[in-house]
Amino acid sequence: MEIYNDLLQRAKKVRERAYAPYSHFPVGAALLTAEGEIFTGCNVENASFGLTICAERAAVFAALAAGKKQFKGIALVADTVEPPTPCGACRQVLHEFAPDMWIICANLKGQKRLLHLSQILPAAFTAKKDKDGPF
């Protein structure tokens, strides 16, 4: 459980660096690699809303830039009524690298929820072809 607390603290801290002038909804994430390294990310908004990046993807992209591609879990923190879950785009990006990863969702009130990615993204998209398929 110590690693969960470390991830949550890092996610909470990096949340303070979020750039969210439009939504006023800062989010922080801390990603744990298979080797035990931690990469953080925060959401970064843009006036062209489609260019906004979520905290979870920012953490994944930082890890990828450092040459890491295997992940165990991620923690995310936001100021919400209930612990937040990743958006659909983030779920799909996380699935690309770690379909069996766990996710710790927490709000600033200290409420937490532990999920597995497969719970919140059933039947995820994959580019792999089924060689036994009908076509």
Predicted confidence (pLDDT) per residue in 75-96, tens digit: 999 999 999 999 999 999 999 9
126 belongs to a structural domain: no
pLDDT over 90 at 132, yes or no: no
Digit-coded pLDDT (tens) for 111-131? 999 999 999 999 999 987 666
Q: Of 90, 66, 70, 92, give the one whose Cα is nearest residue 78.
A: 90
Mean pLDDT, range 104-111, rounded to an integer: 98
Question: Is residue 8 included in any domain, yes or no?
Answer: yes
Residue 134 lies in a domain: no
Residues 6+ apart with CB under 8 A from 30: 6, 7, 8, 10, 11, 14, 38, 39, 40, 59, 74, 75, 76
Domain assignment of residue 62, yes or no: yes
Which pLDDT score is estimated for 130? 61
Structural domain includes residue 49 = yes
Q: Residue 127: its pLDDT value, please? A: 86
66 falls within a domain: yes
Q: Is residue 70 part of a domain?
A: yes
Q: What is the pLDDT of residue 33?
A: 98
Instruction: Write out the residue range of the structural domain in which residue 33 sits.
Output: 2-120
**Active-site residue set:** 56
Are 75 and 39 in contact by the 8 Å Cβ rule? The answer is: no
Supply the CATH number for residue 65's domain: 3.40.140.10
Name the amino acid, one letter, at 20.
A
pLDDT of 6-64, one tens digit each? 999 999 999 999 999 999 999 999 999 999 999 999 999 999 999 999 999 999 999 99
Residue bearing the bigger pLDDT, 4 or 127: 4
Domain count along the chain:
1
Residue 100 dihedral angles phi and psi, to the nearest 5°:
-105, 15
